[in-house]
Amino acid sequence: MKRIVRIGNGQGFWGDSIDAPVHLAKGGPLDYLTLDYLAEVTLSIMQRQKLKNPQAGYARDFLDMVKRILPEITEKGIKVITNAGGVNPQSCREKLIELAAASGKNIKIGVIQGDDIFPDLKALIGKGIDFKNIDTGESIDSIIDKVYSANVYINSFTIAEALEQGAQIVLAGRVSDPGLALGPCIYEYGWKETDFNLLASGTLAGHITECGAQCTGGNYSDWKSVPYLAGVGYPIIEMQADGQFCITKHKGTGGLVNRETVGEQILYEMGDPAHYISPDVCVDFTSFNLTDKEKNRVSVENVKGFEATDTYKVSISYFAGYKASGQLTISGPDALEKAKLTAQIIWERLSKAGYTFEDTSTEFLGVSSCHGEINAQPEQINEVVLRLGVRDQNKDKVNRFGKEIAPVITSGPPGVTGFSGGRPKAQEIVAYWPALIPKEFVHTTVDVL
Amino acid sequence: MKIKLQQIAHARSGDKGAHSNAGLLFTSPEIYAWAKTNLTSQLIKNHFKSIAKGDIIRYEMDNLLALNFILGDSLGGGGSESLINDAQGKTHGQALLLLEVDFPDELLQFVKEN
């Protein structure tokens, strides 16, 4: 058993830095690299890619990344835990094996399945699972014919099982984001399903690192004190068998790790801190101690957890209509007054043409779009960006809105510019529907090739 | 004296469905104790009245010297259906730091100089 296991997270979300994982793998000691490629609606995009092409449906960026760190995986022995397999981990694995073979390398890849319940959704409803929206209480009947994808947040013991079978890369399906880090801890230390405090420690560690540089100085209130954000180091968990762990980053990297950078991240997307529910355990975020150790090293001790719930969360995505937004820059004397008039003109022209929408928005960027009326209005506004948006089930109506932005440049008040990139086009809205499923209905499988 | 929360606290925010959360992290137990008494849900509701249309829920985290506020219905519907610029409440933490409060002079000694 290793005394300390080092787990770095190089990808906080779909679209995060493509270089960060490489820097983590090459920049210092590391045992595991976790990579989160999924947001709540990413799986729906992948599900539709797969409908068009049975070989698609996973994060293609991941293949390019593996190419760059192949020596670290095959020679240094760094293991990669990721949800990049999306809804087609089998195809993703085939491609990975091909690209490794092209470099003369053999690589063992684990695939975890059972999280994708989209094909079984109606059968499961037939068995009495209501999949009602846990935020709003609504019945799934209203969206059942518009569903794009349905994936269960499965537990992390599946990752440990894949590692046990020798996987060097684990394509983990829709495990929880913190679960990507918890899985290797379960494997390394043999933690059991009833080791609630230990599972809570691993889950908290994964929560801290799941958004990448957001715990190492990114998005930090005291940003003026953070050195060299351009070269920010992504976070590393140094876990011990007893569940105590440190958060740190590679030496020589930018950013900052201290009680406040880590503490802020612990608060990110937090609900009731005493009941943080994961598929593996419930974590009490009011329990532990967070202490500055040496420079850029924070320790976490005494995390308390208790038994997980008897349900898993299900992430369902569905078609919810169309939206579009467009913007104009309004400058010069009385910029805000002119922006208000510009908005009024556009909405009135649409109304006169017979168009109304399910929802609209009018925002004044530079004045009040983020913080409403919290700030007093400045006496002089040099320029303001007017941002208008509409949402509707009818695509043609949304596209008609897009045609009403440009005309006001020559038929409205003076000093209006910044219209580039063409007319805003209707974009499909893929919405998120969170639900629950009793654990006994979910059957996960692990295979390693 | 009148101060803004940015002088005594750190903040971070994110989305929770149609709501956002904004957490405040303090750097001394003395200031945290003051905050627990004085930063009421009602005060936060008033500060965010042009943003949060729903209720404010407050949670205390004594171990972290932190308070967590749920800002109800603050994201223009939330998720991918929202039309607003900050549909995920990423900036609500910064908005919270703009709150002006009456802060006791005797606690100023605990304010960490940056």
Angle of helix A196-209 relative to helix A179-189, nearest 10 degrees, comes to 140
ipTM reported for the complex surpasses 0.95: yes
Q: Hey, what are A98's tokens?
A: 């091909």
pLDDT of residue A41: 74
Place of tokens 């007319």: A423
Q: Can you list the positions of beta strands (E) in A332-382?
A: 359-365
Q: Is the pLDDT assigned to residue B48 strictly greater than 80?
A: yes
Structural domain contains residue B35: yes
CB contact under 8 A, A431 and B80: yes
Q: Is the pLDDT assigned to residue A129 strictly greater than 60?
A: yes
Q: Which amino acid is at A160?
A: A
Question: By CA distance, what is B99's nearest residue in A?
Answer: A374
* pLDDT tens per residue, range A35-64: 999 877 788 889 889 989 999 999 999 999
Q: How far apart are CA A257 and CA A297, in angstroms?
A: 6
Element at A446 (helix H, strand E): strand A445-448
For residue A348, the SS3 value is helix
Q: Is the pLDDT assigned to residue A16 strictly greater than 70?
A: yes
* pLDDT tens per residue, range A343-373: 999 999 999 999 999 999 999 999 999 999 9
Q: Does A265 touch chain B (CB under 8 A)?
A: yes
Q: Is the pLDDT assigned to residue A164 strictly greater than 90?
A: yes
Please count the structural domains in chain B: 1
Q: How deeply is A26 buried, as exposed, middle or buried, from its count of CB atoms within 10 A (0-12, 13-18, 19+)?
A: middle
* pLDDT tens per residue, range B104-113: 999 999 987 6
Residue in A15, A69, A20, A72 with CA at minimum distance from that of residue A45:
A15
pLDDT of residue A47: 86
Structural domain contains residue B39: yes
A212-231 average pLDDT score: 98
Structural domain contains residue B15: yes
> Which residue in the set B10, B90, B93 is minimally distant from A260, CB to CB?
B10
Q: Does A290 touch chain B (CB under 8 A)?
A: yes
Q: Is the pLDDT assigned to residue A94 strictly greater than 90?
A: yes
CA A260, A218, B38, A304 torsion: positive or negative?
negative
CB contact under 8 A, B84 and A363: yes
> Which residue in the set A271, A290, A374 is minimally distant from B70, CB to CB?
A271
* pLDDT tens per residue, range A429-442: 999 999 999 999 99
The answer to whether A65 touches A37, Cβ cutoff 8 Å, is no
CB contact under 8 A, A371 and B68: no
> Which residue in the set B10, B48, B85 is minimally distant from A264, CB to CB?
B10
Structural domain contains residue B114: no
**What pTM does this model have?**
0.96
B10-28 average pLDDT score: 96
The answer to whether A108 touches A164, Cβ cutoff 8 Å, is no
Q: Which amino acid is at A96?
A: L
Q: Is the pLDDT assigned to residue A1 strictly greater than 70?
A: no
Q: Over pLDDT 90: what percentage of chain A? A: 94
pLDDT of residue B114: 52
Most B CBs within 10 A among A133, A374, A375, A430, hence the mutation to make, goes to A374
pLDDT of residue A143: 96
Most A CBs within 10 A among B5, B10, B24, hence the mutation to make, goes to B10
Q: Give the gap in angstroms from C-alpha A97 to the nearest C-alpha of chain B.
A: 36
Which range of residues forms the domain containing residue B98?
2-106
* pLDDT tens per residue, range A249-279: 999 999 999 999 999 999 999 999 999 999 9
Which chain A residues touch B80 with a CB distance below 8 Å? Answer: 41, 320, 429-432
Burial B33-72 (b: 16+ CB within 10 A, else e): ebbeeebeeeebbebbeebbeeebbbbbbebbbbbbbbbb
Which chain A residues touch B47 with a CB distance below 8 Å? Answer: 374
Q: Does A440 touch chain B (CB under 8 A)?
A: no
pLDDT of residue B78: 82
CB contact under 8 A, B12 and A265: yes
Phi, psi of A170 (to 5 degrees): -110, 120
Q: Output the average pLDDT for chain A.
A: 96
- Architecture of A319-433 per CATH? 2-Layer Sandwich (3.30)
> Which residue in the set A41, A269, A389 is minimally distant from B16, CB to CB?
A269
pLDDT of residue B113: 65
Structural domain contains residue B26: yes
Domain ranges, ordered by start, for chain A: 4-115+153-309, 319-433
Q: Tell me how crowded residue A379 is: count the other CB atoms within 10 A of its CB.
A: 5
Q: Give the gap in angstroms from C-alpha B104 to the nearest C-alpha of chain A.
A: 23
Q: Output the average pLDDT for chain B.
A: 95
Question: By CA distance, what is B90's nearest residue in A?
Answer: A370
pLDDT of residue A399: 98
Q: How far apart are CA A9 and CA A24, in angstroms?
A: 8
Interface contacts (A, B; CB < 8 Å): 132
pLDDT of residue A305: 98
Question: By CA distance, what is A225's nearest residue in B?
Answer: B114
Most B CBs within 10 A among A138, A258, A270, hence the mutation to make, goes to A270
